[in-house]
């Protein structure tokens, strides 16, 4: 009887520890909206201080200071051209104005249109999370900088 009770106590302790540790790790995986806003502001400050060439190169760099878990920066011209991309350097130089998410939303076109009329904004669409490799709902925070929008997003879980 005592042995059975102890097994039950140990099992409950293991489940509790797994839930606490696992839940904490899961919660720590994704960036928060506040972190996205702060990252965009930091990126804009860097571009202003160091110039576009150095700023875009740093954002796109594999060891960029503008990458944190699933959070990275992207810089689009108001015409849809990618100037910097923290998750996929192959996108740099491409015009993605007609790019659509899985639901058919032209999110780059929408982003550039919002950038023409607003100094900052949030945008919802679906995109592949670089951590999970799954298409997930995403919120992108963007600020206009001259003729570009500098953006950083979070995945909704």
Fold of 31-155: Beta-Lactamase (3.30.450)
Cα–Cα distance for residue pair 144/32, rounded to 1 Å = 21
For tokens 């009770």, the residue is 5
User: Would you kindly state where each structural domain of the chain is located, as residue ranges?
Assistant: 1-30, 31-155
The model's pLDDT over 31-72, given as tens digits with 9 standing for 90+, comes to: 999 999 999 999 999 999 999 999 999 999 999 999 999 999
| pLDDT the model gives residue 131 | 83
What is the per-residue DSSP string for the chain? -HHHHHHHHHHHHHHHHHHHHHHHHHHHHSPPHHHHHHHHHHHHHHHHHH-HHHHHHHHHSTT-TTEETTEEEEEEETTSBEEEESS-GGGTT-B-TT---TT---HHHHHHHHHHH-SEEEEEEEEE-TTT-SEEEEEEEEEEETTEEEEEEEE--
The model's pLDDT over 125-154, given as tens digits with 9 standing for 90+, comes to: 999 888 888 999 999 999 999 999 999 999
The model's pLDDT over 75-130, given as tens digits with 9 standing for 90+, comes to: 999 999 999 999 999 999 999 999 999 999 999 999 999 999 999 999 999 998 88
Give mean pLDDT, residues 13-21.
31
Under the banding of pLDDT at 50, 70 and 90, the label for residue 4 is low
């Amino acid at each position: 009887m005592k042995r059975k009770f102890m097994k039950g106590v140990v099992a409950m302790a293991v489940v509790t520890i797994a839930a606490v540790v696992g839940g904490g790790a899961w919660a720590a995986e994704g960036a928060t909206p506040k972190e996205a806003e702060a990252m965009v502001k930091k990126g804009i400050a860097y571009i202003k201080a160091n110039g576009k060439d150095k700023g875009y190169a740093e954002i796109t760099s594999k060891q960029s200071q503008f990458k944190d878990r699933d959070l990275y920066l992207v810089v689009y011209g108001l015409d849809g051209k990618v100037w910097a991309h923290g998750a996929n350097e192959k996108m740099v130089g491409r015009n993605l104005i007609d790019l659509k998410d899985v639901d058919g939303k032209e999110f780059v076109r929408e982003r550039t249109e919002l950038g023409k009329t607003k100094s900052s904004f949030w945008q919802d669409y679906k995109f592949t999370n670089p951590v999970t490799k799954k298409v997930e709902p995403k919120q992108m925070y963007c600020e206009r900088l001259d003729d570009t929008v500098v953006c950083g997003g979070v995945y909704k879980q």
